[in-house]
């Protein structure tokens, strides 16, 4: 006859069990969805962003463009927007007034020759032709197609593209106003586009730093936990030492050592290196704890008896079993690195202008006058918050999923 | 417990030192130094800069510099006479053909300009004909050969002519511009309606100081507030060639002051004090730059004038006053190395020119008639020797050594003398303990310890307040959340704390600052709610000194609300969750069930028994709070403009002020080690399960 049911249930692999537990953790699913959305936007940044991160056709601190859904007569119609012009009032405050038909006379009165002659309504469309860009995200598929000898298909993949996810249609050429979904910053650059381009730095720097931290932490933690004794003690002193020291101050001091005219890519990698050098200690400690407990297992004893070399045991047997914990630790460490880079860029020490990074853009908010009058410059902070919360939720979900103490079907 | 503490310190302190060594190496190796920024300042001559670099020890190799720093930090031990170099007569430019002394000459090379007519100049900058294209500009502003460019312009009389320079480096996005103003005056003795002459002297150092790159100039334009015709008469470049003295004699490795006396009675070569950079004249010995400030020491220093100054300036004034009162090294001799050519002995007559007693030395009068001259004679033998002039004897003869204005050298008979390395010497050795010698901050021009002490007090004050608040808020919040677990109150609190942990501290600080500005706009200044009008950053208000003791305290507290609020919000989240988690865990333990069976009331069960046990990991978490906060409060200090150690560190890093960076890293490292130790000791004292003898904590 068939095997009894409990045997079948017991043969479900731990991975599938973990996946099932994870799938039931609703918040973690939300986190994952949010992160996937952010990373998808990051990859498709050139396409999703209506403008480049440097384009400055607008004036300073242009507010988010108003989208009109009704015609002046009051009927529902496809969304459209007007150009907006800055008018300085008696208090030397800057107001943006759109060039709708009602405002034309006012604009003419205030701006004289600079006012537009007619009020032009630019329709807001999806998939519009806009500024040219090089689609970076198509480079990989193109290369793959070429490798697969599908030359004809590969040639169809364009090198330059002008299609954007959304933007102002209606024959908007270079003279058209910019459509600001989230307003503009102090140089007139579209904030939404900069957020998307900035996500490339902010979202990847955590991973880059974590790769280094990962390797270093696994190696040192594994060696320390496996060998024990004097090696363990000395390595642990080192790890404690690293955790003891003021991270922020060391970050700053190491930053001062960089050459002054470092290129932007150079800065990126320097930040990654410095962050990783400061942060590997925590992971090493976690790994050591796990290795200490795994060391007692029988398969380790068996491998030792068979004469397998210690390094081989560590790498091939023990470390793969630490992965579940390590994945969780890494997922929870990435937001830390992200915040570190944002902090540095916020202070002006990280990614430099004109390149965008979320911390960079938040540097503008240091002036409370700007915050008060142009509150949309705070939006990158919300994105940082969203990313960190999503990573935390994901990490919590993974931890609960891999933790053998939690039971499928019951919410803690 | 004592041995445990000592053991921890024995590990922790060398660790901090090791880290400081690594950081020092990394910073020094990079080659960025605070003097780079000062070098672009045209009012600081390169010779004084070099002297200051040498006095700071930058000429030593890196590891040796670290050891000197370490010696100063641990104990101020002086084994040899201290010397402060006052003039080393070294030439600064490395590409000098031969580093012989002294009589240097700047040569002006005329620049061929096509003879074009006048242009009409007005408020809008217009390009000068003949100097319109970058090629011509790069020939005139050739930084490799010259260090200044001179334009002789004929323009509207009485106008101020402004020269606009624009440059664009290939790797930069936009152009950089700078403007220099020159008066256009009618020369004396010419007709009243003659055109004015403007001598535009453009020093490349000043140009570089304004951010414009001399090697990449794109345009030179001229404007003037008074409209009129402008004509370029001459253009010259000051070429850095130095006409040397006769090259007889030995080739020296470094430059010296070479004095050639012809034996004319009364002949003197003077070294005087100069206050402004000079143009186009021949450099001679009389205009050599000597660090006269080393001589300046007020006898009875006036009390420091602290009115109207901010924190930094006040600390600087107090530091200066203390130094003036005799804290610094007291020099006892003026030394120099001399080499006398020939075979006969000579007598060198040195005349000290100083201000009479009672005159303020900081009044910058060049060569005023009112100086006291004190002669001194030094016997010189042929060859090399080191001469020393005891300052006490000089003072006995009437020289006011605290206000020396110049030195003059004379000799009765003809001779050729070479002097080097004018130094002030303090003999003897010394040992001073108590105040660590962290060195001088190049940017702040004061002692690092004095500078950082005030900042450290501020940071610690903020952190301690924040920790107290965190403690007093998160315990009740955690207990409340555990008491009403899974009910709406708990859920809201959990959500808030989760967000609070995820939000970056600088963003939160910005939001709070934003909120404060909204609050200030909403609340009228003179009203009952005036105290809610929190200040927008800083530590003290403008009229801080005028308030009484309680007023000052209240003022500081008022300014501290913002930063402490942010630190509390940020730090509370994690601890509240820990508290809640441990309380929930304690609730399920057996002793609680047993006590409940015994009839202990529910309330007491929760708030007395469970809480006492739950608080232990909480204390462990709290203990690590102080170290984390010292690092984390840096952002908040920067955003709220609070004068603390984090902000001082940031400024020092941005200006490459090595001494301040090292000192703040060292101090914060020590604070963190001490904080961790305190936390562990506290935990051991509270939890009877932990024993420090083993590897417990």
pLDDT tens readout for residues A116-131: 777 778 888 888 877 7
Task: Return the pLDDT at A378.
Answer: 92
> A358 has which bridge partners?
none
**Is A244 in contact with B501 (Cβ distance < 8 A)?**
no
- Which phi and psi (to 5°) does residue A307 adopt? 90, 15
For the beta carbon of residue A198, count every other beta carbon within 10 angstroms.
Answer: 27
Helices (H) and strands (E) in chain B, counts: 18, 22
pLDDT in tens, B25-52: 877 777 767 777 777 666 666 666 777 7
Which residue among B507, B635, B668 sits closest to A249, beta carbon to beta carbon? B668
C-alpha B121/C-alpha B157 separation (Å) is 12
B654 band by pLDDT with thresholds 50, 70 and 90? confident
**Is B513 in contact with A371 (Cβ distance < 8 A)?**
yes
DSSP string, B611-661: HHHHHHHHHHHHHTHHHHHHHHHHHHHHHTT--SHHHHHHHHHHTT-HHHH
Task: Return the pLDDT at A377.
Answer: 92
Least confident of A204-213, B449-458, B617-626: B617-626
- Which phi and psi (to 5°) does residue B356 adopt? -65, 160
Residue B355: which residues within 8 A CB-CB, separation 6 or more? B361, B368, B370, B371, B372, B400, B403, B405
User: What is the percentage of chain B residues whose pLDDT exceeds 70?
Assistant: 76
pLDDT in tens, B266-277: 777 776 653 322
Question: A205-361 — its CATH code?
Answer: 1.10.3720.10
C-alpha A185/C-alpha B137 separation (Å) is 36
The reply to whether omega before A394 is within 30° of 0 (cis) is no
**Is A260 in contact with B501 (Cβ distance < 8 A)?**
no
- Only one residue has tokens 């002097």, namely B419
Examine the pLDDT at B400 and tell me if it is beyond 80.
Answer: no
Examine the pLDDT at B153 and tell me if it is beyond 90.
Answer: no
Q: Which residues of chain A have pLDDT under 70?
A: 1-11, 170-175, 244, 260, 404-412
Angle ∠(A269,A274,A280) on CA atoms, nearest 5:
115
B-contacting residues in A 275-314 (Cβ below 8 Å): none
**Is B501 in contact with A253 (Cβ distance < 8 A)?**
no
Q: Is-above-0.80 flag for pTM?
A: no
Examine the pLDDT at B545 and tell me if it is beyond 80.
Answer: no
B279 band by pLDDT with thresholds 50, 70 and 90? very low
Examine the pLDDT at B487 and tell me if it is beyond 80.
Answer: yes
DSSP string, A201-229: HHHHHHHHHHHHHHHHHHHHHHHHHHH-H
Q: What is the DSSP letter of A63?
A: P
Interface test with B, best of A253, A362, A371 (most B CBs within 10 A): A253
Task: Give me the mean pLDDT over the B531-545 stretch.
Answer: 75
Tell me the C-alpha to C-alpha distance, in Å, between residue A25 and each of A398, A405, B400, B496.
Answer: 9, 15, 84, 20
B297 band by pLDDT with thresholds 50, 70 and 90? very low
B-contacting residues in A 26-65 (Cβ below 8 Å): 54
B301 band by pLDDT with thresholds 50, 70 and 90? very low
- Chain B residues inside the 8 Å CB shell of A260: 32
Least confident of A28-37, B589-598, B608-617: B608-617
For chains A and B, CB pairs below 8 A equal: 133
3-state secondary structure of B152: strand
DSSP string, B253-302: SS--EEEEE---TT--EEEE---S---SSPB-GGG----GGGT---SSPP
Interface test with A, best of B20, B27, B66, B510 (most A CBs within 10 A): B510
pLDDT in tens, B71-117: 777 766 666 677 777 776 654 333 333 434 444 456 677 777 766 67
**Is B653 in contact with A256 (Cβ distance < 8 A)?**
yes
Q: For chain A, which residues make up each domain, given as ranges?
A: 205-361
- Rounded to two decimals, the ipTM of the complex is 0.83
- Chain B residues inside the 8 Å CB shell of A243: none
Least confident of A138-147, B293-302, B628-637: B293-302
Query: Is B191 or B462 the better-scoring residue by pLDDT?
Result: B462
Contact A368, B513 (CB under 8 A): yes
Query: Is A352 or B149 the better-scoring residue by pLDDT?
Result: B149
3-state secondary structure of A401: helix
Which residue among A247, A253, A384 sits closest to B507, beta carbon to beta carbon? A384
B668 touching A, CB under 8 A?
A: yes
Query: Is B665 or B401 the better-scoring residue by pLDDT?
Result: B665
B246 band by pLDDT with thresholds 50, 70 and 90? very low
**Is A257 in contact with B29 (Cβ distance < 8 A)?**
yes
């Amino acid at each position: 006859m068939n095997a009894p049911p409990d045997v079948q249930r017991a043969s479900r692999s731990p991975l599938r069990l973990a996946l099932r537990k994870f799938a039931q953790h609703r918040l973690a699913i939300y986190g994952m969805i949010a992160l996937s959305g952010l990373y998808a936007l990051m990859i498709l940044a050139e396409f999703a962003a209506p403008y480049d991160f440097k384009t400055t056709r607008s004036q300073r601190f242009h507010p988010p463009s108003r989208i009109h859904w009704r015609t002046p007569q009051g009927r529902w119609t496809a969304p459209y927007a007007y150009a907006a012009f800055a008018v300085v009032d008696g208090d030397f405050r800057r107001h943006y007034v759109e060039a709708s038909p009602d405002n034309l006379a006012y604009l003419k009165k205030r701006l004289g020759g600079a006012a537009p002659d007619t009020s032009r309504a630019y329709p807001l469309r999806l998939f519009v032709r806009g500024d040219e860009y090089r689609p970076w995200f198509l480079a990989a598929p193109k290369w793959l197609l070429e490798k697969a000898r599908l030359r004809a298909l590969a040639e169809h993949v364009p090198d330059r593209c002008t299609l954007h996810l959304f933007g102002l249609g209606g024959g908007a050429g270079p003279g058209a106003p910019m459509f600001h979904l989230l307003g503009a910053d102090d140089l007139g650059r579209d904030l939404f586009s900069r957020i998307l381009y900035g996500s490339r730095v902010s979202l990847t720097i955590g991973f880059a730093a974590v790769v280094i931290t990962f390797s270093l932490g696994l190696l040192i933690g594994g060696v320390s936990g496996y060998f024990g004794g004097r090696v363990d003690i000395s390595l642990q002193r080192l790890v404690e030492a690293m955790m003891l020291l003021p991270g922020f101050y060391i970050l700053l001091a190491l930053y001062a050592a960089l050459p002054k005219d470092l290129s932007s890519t150079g800065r990126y990698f320097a930040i990654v290196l410095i962050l990783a050098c400061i942060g590997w200690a925590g992971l090493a400690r976690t790994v050591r704890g796990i290795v200490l407990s795994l060391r007692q297992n029988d398969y380790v004893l068996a491998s030792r008896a068979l004469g397998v070399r210690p390094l081989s045991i560590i790498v091939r047997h023990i470390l793969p079993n630490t992965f579940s914990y390590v994945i969780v630790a890494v997922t929870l460490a990435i937001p830390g690195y992200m915040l570190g880079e944002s902090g540095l860029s916020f202070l002006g020490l990280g990614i430099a202008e004109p390149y965008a990074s979320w911390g960079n853009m938040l540097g503008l908010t240091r002036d409370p006058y700007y915050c008060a009058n142009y509150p949309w410059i705070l939006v990158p902070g919300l994105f940082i918050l969203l990313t960190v919360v999503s990573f935390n939720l994901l990490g919590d979900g993974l931890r609960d999923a891999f933790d053998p103490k939690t039971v499928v079907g019951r919410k803690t | 417990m004592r041995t445990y503490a000592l053991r921890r310190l024995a590990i922790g302190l060398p660790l901090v030192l090791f880290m400081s060594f690594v950081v020092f190496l990394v910073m020094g190796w990079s080659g960025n130094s605070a003097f780079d920024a000062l070098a672009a300042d045209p009012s600081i001559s390169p010779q004084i800069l070099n002297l200051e670099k040498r006095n700071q020890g930058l000429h030593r190799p890196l590891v040796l510099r670290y050891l000197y720093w370490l010696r100063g930090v641990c104990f101020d031990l002086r084994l040899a006479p201290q010397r402060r170099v006052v003039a080393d007569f070294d030439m600064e430019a490395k590409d000098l053909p031969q580093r012989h002394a002294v009589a240097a000459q700047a040569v002006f090379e005329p620049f061929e300009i096509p003879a074009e007519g006048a242009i009409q100049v007005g408020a809008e900058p217009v390009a000068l004909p003949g100097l319109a294209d970058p090629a011509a500009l790069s020939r005139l502003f050739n930084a490799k050969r010259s260090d200044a460019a001179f334009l002789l312009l004929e323009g509207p009389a009485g106008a101020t002519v402004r020269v606009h320079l624009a440059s664009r480096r290939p790797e930069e996005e936009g152009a950089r511009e700078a403007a220099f103003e020159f008066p256009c005056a009618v020369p004396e003795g010419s007709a009243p309606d003659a055109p004015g002459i403007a001598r535009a002297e453009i020093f490349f150092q000043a140009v570089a100081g304004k951010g414009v790159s001399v090697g990449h100039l794109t345009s030179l334009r001229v404007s003037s507030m008074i409209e009129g015709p402008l004509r370029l008469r001459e253009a010259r470049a000051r070429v850095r060639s130095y006409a040397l003295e006769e090259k007889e004699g030995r080739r020296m490795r470094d430059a010296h002051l070479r004095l050639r006396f012809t034996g004319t009675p009364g002949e003197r070569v003077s070294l005087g004090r100069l206050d402004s950079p000079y143009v186009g004249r021949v450099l001679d010995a009389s205009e050599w730059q000597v660090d006269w400030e080393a001589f300046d020491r007020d006898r009875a220093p006036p009390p420091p004038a602290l009115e109207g100054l901010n924190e930094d300036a006040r600390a600087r004034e107090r530091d200066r006053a203390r130094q003036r009162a005799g804290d610094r090294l007291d020099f006892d001799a003026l030394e120099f190395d001399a080499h006398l050519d020939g075979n006969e002995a000579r007598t060198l007559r040195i005349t000290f020119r100083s201000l009479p007693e009672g005159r303020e030395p900081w009044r910058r009068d060049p060569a005023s008639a009112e100086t006291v001259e004190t002669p001194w004679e030094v016997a010189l033998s042929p060859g090399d020797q080191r001469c020393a002039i005891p300052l006490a004897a000089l003072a006995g003869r009437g020289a006011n050594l605290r206000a020396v204005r110049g030195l003059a050298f004379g000799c009765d008979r003809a001779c050729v003398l070479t002097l080097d390395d004018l130094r002030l010497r303090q003999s003897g050795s010394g040992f001073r303990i108590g105040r660590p010698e962290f060195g001088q901050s190049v940017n702040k021009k004061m002692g690092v310890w004095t500078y950082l002490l005030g900042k450290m007090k501020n940071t610690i004050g903020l952190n301690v307040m924040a920790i107290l608040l965190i403690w007093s808020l998160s315990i009740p919040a955690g207990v409340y959340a555990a008491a009403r677990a899974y009910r709406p109150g708990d859920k809201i609190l959990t959500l808030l704390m989760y967000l609070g942990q995820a939000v970056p501290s600088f963003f939160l600080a910005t939001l709070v600052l934003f909120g404060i500005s909204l609050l200030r706009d909403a609340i009228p200044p003179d009203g009952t709610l005036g105290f809610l009008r929190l200040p927008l950053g800083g530590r003290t208000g403008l009229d801080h000194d005028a308030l009484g003791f309680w007023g000052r305290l209240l003022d500081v507290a008022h300014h501290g609300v913002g930063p402490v609020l942010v630190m509390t919000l940020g730090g509370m989240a994690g601890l509240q969750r820990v508290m809640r988690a441990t309380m929930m865990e304690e609730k399920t333990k057996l002793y609680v069930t047993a006590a409940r069976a015994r009839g202990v009331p529910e309330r007491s069960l929760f708030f007395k028994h469970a809480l006492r046990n739950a608080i232990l990991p909480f204390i462990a978490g709290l203990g690590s709070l102080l170290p984390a906060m010292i690092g984390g409060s840096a952002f908040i200090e920067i955003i709220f403009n609070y004068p603390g150690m984090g902000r001082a560190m940031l400024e020092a890093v941005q200006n490459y002020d090595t001494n301040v960076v090292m000192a703040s890293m060292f101090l914060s490292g020590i604070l963190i080690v001490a904080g961790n130790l305190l936390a562990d000791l506290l935990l051991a004292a509270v939890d009877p399960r932990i024993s420090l003898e083993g590897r417990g904590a």
